[in-house]
Structures are given as structure tokens and as C-alpha cells.
């Protein structure tokens, strides 16, 4: 019974260690991803998918300011009228900014290059300058509503402090677990290399 209980405890410790390690990695990746997006205005592609955050109200009510969206890389001829695409502005106030607007005319090809006419859907929106394929970051897939609060929180001072505290707690837990495991190994080694106890010989009583 004692060995069975000890086995369960050992297994539980392993599961907890794996959980905290995975959680630590996910948190680090998530925060690095968010800060790279915030600093560069672009996000790295993962299997052709990218995450962006809507920064204007030109697509309301479909997309609101602060919405986190998922886009996917597509080929030139896969974009059609009615699609919503994210592209990089090249002129004026929108230079190097990520813009998410709807394609309002049929795309067309000219001299081997593809062109798209986009526009916001808010009443009174003006048409954008013609967008070329090399500006396109991807086609809109869906909103990631569950990430809105996380994104906003981690970019706030309170979120940064919380993240640092979580990292310290997880690191401290891993460090303590490592120290305890080394102590356990040392104790086993000492038991293994300790000289065997001498058996007391029984002296025969003389008659």
C-alpha cells in the first residue's frame, strides 16, 4: 500500500512539473509574440496564419477597434470581391500601417501583377488607393474574441507586473523541484555506496 501511494505521489509530481513547464513556455511565447506585434506592427506567420489587432473603426460593425483577428496567407487569384484582407499601407498617414478592409471590386491582373480595390464599410468611407498583392498580409479568417482581453491585459502595466510575478513563481517552483530531486539522488547514492553493515556473529557458549 505504501509503495502504491508513493508511486501515485511521484506520478503527480511529474504531471505538475510538466504542466508548469508547458505553462511557462506558453506564457513566454505569447508575451513575446504580443510585444513583437506591438513593436513592429507586424506579426510572424505560423503555418501561413497571422494575428493582427484592429486599430480603427473603419470596419464597424463587423470589426471594432481592439479586435484581435486571424488572417491566412492566400494566393493572388484566391482573393475575391467581398473578401476582407489585411494589407500594409504604402503612402500618406497609412504608410507601414496594417489596414484591414473589404475588397469592393473584382480583382484584376495586369502585366503579371494583381490589384485589389478595398474600402472600409463605415458609411461615408472613401476608397483606398489600389492595393498590390505584395502588400497583402492575408485574408481575414475570424475574430479571436478570447484573445482581446489577454492582449489588452498583457500590454498594460498591471499585466506586465503579473507576468513577471508568474514567471518568478514558476521559476522558483522549478528551482525548488530541481534541488529536491538532486538531494534525493544524492541520498540514494550515499545508501548505495555505504559499506554494508557488519553482521554480529553469535558466539557459542562454552559448556
Q: ω into residue 190 within 30 of 0, thus cis? A: no
- Which of 137-151 are b and which e, b meaning 16 or more Cβ less than 10 Å from the residue's Cβ? bbbbeebbeebbeeb
Of 11-25, 34-48, 53-67, 156-170, the poorest mean pLDDT is in 34-48
- The pLDDT tens digits of the residues spanning 94-134 come to 888 899 999 999 999 999 999 999 999 999 999 999 999 99
Residue boundaries of the structural domains of the chain = 2-31+157-185, 42-147
Query: What is the Cα–Cα distance from 52 to 79, expressed in whole angstroms?
Result: 19
Q: What is the mean pLDDT of the chain?
A: 79
Cα 83 from Cα 78, distance rounded (Å): 10
Across 147-154, average pLDDT? 70
Which carries the bigger pLDDT value, residue 7 or residue 82? 82
6 pLDDT more than 60? yes
Q: Which is more confident, 159 or 122? A: 122
Q: For 41-71, how does the pLDDT look when each residue is reduced to its tens digit (9 = 90+)?
A: 566 677 888 888 888 899 999 999 988 899 9
Query: Mind listing the pLDDT tens digit for each residue in 71-91?
Result: 999 999 999 999 999 999 988
Specify the pTM: 0.61
| Dihedral in degrees, nearest 10, Cα atoms 34, 38, 39, 44 | 60
Q: Are 102 and 119 in contact (CB under 8 A)?
A: yes
The CATH number assigned to the domain with range 42-147 reads 2.10.109.10
Cα–Cα distance, 115 to 120 (Å, whole number) = 17
DSSP, collapsed to helix, strand or coil, labels residue 126 as: coil
Distance CA 139, CA 107 (A): 14
Amino acid at each position: 500500500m505504501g509503495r502504491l501511494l508513493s508511486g501515485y505521489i511521484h506520478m503527480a509530481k511529474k504531471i505538475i512539473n510538466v504542466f508548469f513547464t508547458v505553462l511557462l513556455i506558453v506564457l513566454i511565447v505569447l508575451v513575446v509574440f504580443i510585444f513583437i506585434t506591438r513593436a513592429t506592427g507586424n506579426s510572424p506567420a505560423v503555418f501561413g496564419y497571422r494575428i493582427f489587432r484592429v486599430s480603427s473603426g473603419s470596419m464597424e460593425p463587423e470589426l471594432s477597434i481592439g479586435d484581435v483577428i486571424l488572417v491566412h496567407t492566400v494566393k493572388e487569384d484566391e482573393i475575391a470581391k467581398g473578401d476582407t484582407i489585411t494589407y500594409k499601407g504604402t503612402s500618406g498617414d497609412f504608410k507601414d500601417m496594417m489596414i484591414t478592409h473589404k475588397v469592393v471590386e473584382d480583382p484584376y491582373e495586369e502585366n503579371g501583377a494583381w490589384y485589389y480595390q478595398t474600402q472600409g464599410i463605415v458609411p461615408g468611407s472613401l476608397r483606398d488607393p489600389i492595393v498590390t498583392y505584395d502588400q497583402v498580409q492575408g485574408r481575414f479568417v475570424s475574430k479571436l474574441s478570447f484573445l482581446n482581453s489577454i492582449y489588452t491585459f498583457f500590454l498594460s502595466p498591471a499585466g506586465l507586473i503579473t507576468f513577471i510575478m508568474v514567471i518568478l513563481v514558476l521559476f522558483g517552483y522549478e528551482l525548488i523541484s530541481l534541488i529536491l530531486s538532486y538531494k534525493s539522488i544524492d541520498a540514494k547514492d550515499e545508501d548505495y555506496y555505504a559499506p554494508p553493515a557488519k553482521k554480529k556473529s553469535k558466539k557459542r557458549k562454552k559448556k
